[in-house]
Structure 1
Amino acid sequence: MKFHNFASLTLFAALFWVVPAKAENLQHVQQLMSTRECQSCDLSRAGLVFSNLSAVDLSQANLSLANLNQANLSGSNLANTDLSGAVLVRANLSGADLSGANLAGADLREAYLYGANLEGANLDGAILQGAIGLPEELIGAQQFYSWGIAEFQRGNFSGAIDYYNQALTKEPDFSAVYLARSLARYRLGDEEGAIADANRAEQLFATEGNESGRLASVQVAEGIVEAQEALEEANNRGRGGGGGFIRFIGGLASMLLQFGL
């Protein structure tokens, strides 16, 4: 199973929604609600927000671009179902059979997936941030890394570090993760840890022959030291940190974007 970064995902979602809207098949929606069975039905773009669809049989149905936000699909049969681009935010999919399902580009943020069967499911481009019960073997280091960057950009530096740690558990020598974690640690006031991570990133980038990454890591480590010294000097003079210190912080954030972190 493959996962792509958020930029690709955003483009993927945008391409879906610029297509002229097609009305949902009301006959099939009514069949689903009355019989709780709708195998091979056309439910694309159906609005099923908050629907109680527990234990329904939707095998091989077309639910592409359907809105299933916070729907209850626990124990449902979604085998070989097309859920591409579907909104499943906070949906309950616990115990659901999603074997062979197409979840490409689906939004599964904070969805409940405990006990779900995802064997053979296509999760290419799916948004899985915050999904609960997702088997860890389905999540690679790059995905954890991307989630960490998203949290960093939101200002949730502790959350970013949690994701970076999980990425490093999967791939201990992931150089860019050390650089990213260095910045998050710095924002939390852990200068010592930030410098250690930047130095580790420098070593790994050097081993990889990535000179731009190595130089960026050196600049981060040196910049942290210089910022500390500037702040101490400013405090001794009875001033605040000054604009230079703030600009340094902004420079670190820009560096994240520059390296696609």
Structure 2
Amino acid sequence: MQTHRAIAMKFHNFASLTLFAALFWVVPAKAENLQHVQQLMSTRECQSCDLSRAGLVFSNLSAVDLSQANLSLANLNQANLSGSNLANTDLSGAVLVRANLSGADLSGANLAGADLREAYLYGANLEGANLDGAILQGAIGLPEELIGAQQFYSWGIAEFQRGNFSGAIDYYNQALTKEPDFSAVYLARSLARYRLGDEEGAIADANRAEQLFAAEGNENGRLASVQVAEGIVEAQEALEEANGRGGGGGGFIRFIGGLASMLLRFGL
């Protein structure tokens, strides 16, 4: 049996941990280093500076020297960083949406998880840069060798979910250029083709996906592909019958919703 002292000690430890947890959430996040921000804007160089979480939206930072600086989680949305020295800079989690990085030296930079959507990257040096988890959709001038089939495929899924089926197919085609036997891409492209009214192409892609999944030993993927091919035929027949009766296409819409869920399940 536990003594009163032991129970009291456990309660004390629990209370201490609870207090620590409460304080952890109450203490505000580390603010940006205003002194280093001021140094950057006045001298246009701030090597090894702490600029994490800095708000630099729309800033003109062309040709600045930020080598080895800490810009993690910084907001550089639409900033002009053309020709800047960002070698070995920590830009992990930074927002660089539509930022101008043309001619910038990003060699050895840590861009893990950075948001580079629609960033301008022509002439940028990305040798040795870490792009793990970076959002690169719509980035302009990004060297093609840095984009893998999986990335193109993920962009295709995003476009499909937005209803941009032609755009999705463009990304799927690029994924297949990189990896011609990417089974999930064929399954995904079949859905996009069907939404564009290309039933024949959709069925052909589903059949190809079935073959590839079977070769991989992926029975779930193979069965999904069979269901897609058969479902396209059945849904089209049901839609034609409903139209003949003057009915709606509710079953068709539900079918497509089911295929979209299947796409996510077997594609990633």
Asked if these proteins are the same fold (TM beyond 0.5), I'd say: yes
TM-aligned CA deviation for residue 248 of structure 1 = 1.1
Q: 1:55 to 1:189 in 2, by over 3 A?
A: same
Residue 9 of structure 1 contacts residue 125 of structure 1 at CA under 8 Å; is this kept in 2? Answer: no
- Residues 4 and 124 in structure 1, CA contact (< 8 A), matched pair in contact too: no
Instruction: From the superposition, tell whether residues 228 and 10 of structure 1 become closer, same or farther in structure 2 (CA, over 3 Å).
Output: farther
Number of residue pairs matched? 260
Over alpha carbons, which structure has the higher Rg?
A: 2
Query: Partner residue of 1:182?
Result: 190
Q: CA deviation at 1:192?
A: 0.9
Cα distance, 1:40–1:139 mapped onto 2, change above 3 Å:
same
The CA deviation string for residues 155-182 of structure 1, in whole angstroms up to 9 with x for no partner, is 1111111110000000000000000000
In 1, the alpha carbon distance for the partners of 2:227 and 2:210 equals 10
Deviation at 1:16, TM superposition (A): 14
Tell me, yes or no, if the aligned pair for 1:178 and 1:198 is still in contact at 8 Å. yes
Percent identical among aligned pairs is 98
CA positional deviation for 1:235: 2.4
Residues 163 and 15 of structure 1, relative CA distance in 2, 3 Å threshold: farther
CA drift at 1:137: 0.2
Higher mean C-alpha deviation, range 13-22 or range 31-40? 13-22
* Alignment CA distance shift 1:90-1:31 (3 Å): same
TM-score between both structures, scaled by the size of structure 1? 0.90
CA RMSD across the alignment = 8.2
Q: Are 1:40 and 1:61, in contact at CA under 8 Å, matched by a contact in 2?
A: yes
Distance 1:100 1:2 in 2: 48
Considering Cα pairs closer than 8 Å and 6+ residues apart, tell me whether 1 or 2 has the greater RCO: 1
Which runs of structure 1 show a deviation greater than 4 angstroms over 4 or more consecutive aligned residues? 1-20
> Secondary structure of 1:4's match?
helix
Q: Which moved more, 1:15-24 or 1:40-49?
A: 15-24
Retained in 2: the 8 A contact 1:88–1:107? yes
Aligned to 1:254: 261
- Seen in structure 2, the aligned counterparts of structure 1 residues 189 and 138 have a Cα distance that, compared at 3 Å, is same
Contact 2:152 2:174 in 1 (8 A): yes
CA distances 1:87-141 after superposition (whole Å, capped 9, x unpaired): 0000000000000101111110100000000000011111111110000000100
Structure 1: 5+ residue stretches without partners: none
Whole-angstrom CA distance in 1 between matches of 2:230 and 2:137: 33
Give the direction of change, closer, same or farther, for the CA distance of 1:147–1:66 in structure 2 (3 Å limit). Answer: same
**Contact 1:65-1:85 within 8 A present in 2 as well:** yes
1:58-80 CA distance string (max 9 Å, x none):
00111111000000000000001
Normalised by the length of structure 2, the TM-score is 0.88
Deviation, structure 1 residue 236: 2.5
1:112–1:184 distance in 2 versus 1, CA, 3 Å: same
1:148 and 1:2 mapped to 2: Cα distance?
54
Deviation of 1:6 (Å): 37
Tell me if the contact between 1:5 and 1:146 (Cα under 8 Å) persists in the aligned partners. Answer: no
Query: Which digits, 9 at most, give the CA deviation of each residue in 1:177-230, with x for residues without a partner?
Result: 000000011111111110110011011111111111111101101111111111
